[in-house]
Structure 1
Amino acid sequence: MARSPATTEDGRRIGAGVDAVVFDVFGTVVDWRTGVASEFQRVGSRVGAQADWPGLTTQWRSLYPPTLLRVVSGEVPWRSLDELHRMTLDTVLAEHGLSGFTDTDRAELVGAWHRLSPWPDSRDGLARLRETHVTATLSNGSTALLIRLARAGGLPFDTILSAELIHSYKPDPKVYLMAAELLEVAPRRLLMTACHLDDLRAAADAGLRTAYIPRPLEWGPDHPAPPAPDWVDLIATDIPDLARQLTP
């Protein structure tokens, strides 16, 4: 069934009020869990280690939000995402007694976040959306990391925006407002797109519009995507569906 174009409360098309669309990347555009778990399996086999690699991947990722919040709050100084990933990786490996991973092995695992594959709909959906709107990343990944993901995955973003540019991380409101400033659009004409409701809530609080794309397999088949709350402006099944809803 065709989806009706999303509208505001007064009946106006949301697409008509959006000039640019920015995307969360990890989970929304690329599949981090499959890629990182595969790298854990590969490197773990090489060093003779055995573990629940998907489980370790989930645990590693679960340390990501609280670690970023410590940076945003000023509790710890700003560090690159690779440095934070290395710090949390060391924590996870130590908790599981996996001491056989060398510095080289750990660097390879941190590098796994630079080699993630897109979801099947991402490339075509972004290409279609780019015909009518400016598109960009708005991710906590570094600029270099995001460029590598975009080039390897053929992801046709107009530009790469990273929280690294202002030495902060989402959900700091300054990150979302930075994107509006650099793209020269009003916050209310910038659409933040993500599969993470905490990211969207922070974007909405900063004055951006929001689009929710549930990714049921992000955390694996046993962790369904949460339902969309009432405050989300737009819900799409995937990126091509988002492009259809935003088509003028």
Structure 2
Amino acid sequence: MQTSPRILVFDIFGTVVDWHGSIVREMAARHPQVDADAFALAWRAGYQPAMEVVRSGGRGFVKLDLLHREILDGILPRFGLGHLGEAERAVLNRIWHRLAAWPDSVAGLTRLKARFTSCSLSNGNLGLLTDMAKHAGLPWDCVLSAEVFRAYKPDPRVYLGAAEVFDADPAEVLMVASHHDDLAAARACGLQTAYIERPLEFGTAHLKDVSPRPGNTWHARDLLHLADLVGA
């Protein structure tokens, strides 16, 4: 018999907030001469490789803010922005702190929070996630980050650490994400999983395949639909 979850932990980038659309809008306002779509995709493309250096032991754990800044510094010349000074680069790097929520996220999280303990579980650092929650109105019960566990997902320490924080059996924790690799890693640690469709994660010109895959406890269109499925 399926254990009923009592803790819901959420991936953030792409699942709860629209990183691509947020970066595109801000870049279009600040630097209209730049291909904002290509810029957003290039910045995000450096995300996994930068974290993999940490995962593989190539460097010690550092906050995602630092990795984002290093990726930013690397791509600015490619987009004709190599001349930007430190202050402008610092402001740009904090785009990740002010990403907009998907239209369903706040209402969906509010409903889910009424029944379950609701918590972020992101590779974003604590300061980033806290700023984002205040900016976007995300109603978390708790903010958890890979920073707490000094490891980046999909390291098992992150998923099992979240369960331990709440003195929960892993089967009592539901990982909610729009990324199948994140969910597969969570399932391998004994967590339940819910896939959230985000076909526009990479923008309207790059639609994502959101077809169901086996293994997930739930498959939902968005967070409001997930709330319906779990009876919240």
TM-score bucket of the superposed structures, by smaller chain: over 0.9
Pairing partner for 1:136 from 119, 124, 131: 119
Write the deviation string for residues 100-159 of structure 1: whole angstroms up to 9, x where unpaired. Answer: 211111111110000011111011111111111111000111111111111222211111
Alignment of 1:1-248 (within 5 A): 12=1, 17-45=4-32, 50-226=33-209, 227-247=211-231
| Contact 2:27/2:34 (8 A) holds in 1 | no
Write the deviation string for residues 37-57 of structure 1: whole angstroms up to 9, x where unpaired. Answer: 222233325xxxx22111111
In structure 2, what is the equivalent of residue 6 of structure 1?
none
| Contact 1:215/1:225 (8 A) holds in 2 | yes
- The alpha carbon displacement at 1:97 in A equals 4.4
- The alpha carbon displacement at 1:34 in A equals 1.3
TM-score normalised by the chain length of structure 1: 0.88
| Contact 1:124/1:240 (8 A) holds in 2 | yes
| Contact 1:23/1:137 (8 A) holds in 2 | yes
Q: Secondary structure at the match of 1:18?
A: coil
Consecutive unaligned residues in structure 2, runs of 5 or more: none
How far apart, CA to CA, are the structure 1 residues paired with 2:166 and 2:224? 22
Consecutive unaligned residues in structure 1, runs of 5 or more: 1-11
TM-score normalised by the chain length of structure 2: 0.94
How far apart, CA to CA, are the structure 2 residues paired with 1:118 and 1:238? 12
Q: Secondary structure at the match of 2:9?
A: strand
Q: Which amino acid aligns with 1:111?
A: R
Matched residue count: 231
Stretches (4+) displaced over 6 A: none
| Contact 1:43/1:105 (8 A) holds in 2 | no
Q: How much is the aligned-residue C-alpha RMSD, in angstroms?
A: 1.5
- The alpha carbon displacement at 1:176 in A equals 0.6
Q: Secondary structure at the match of 1:169?
A: coil
Percent pairwise identity: 42
How far apart, CA to CA, are the structure 2 residues paired with 1:189 and 1:198? 20
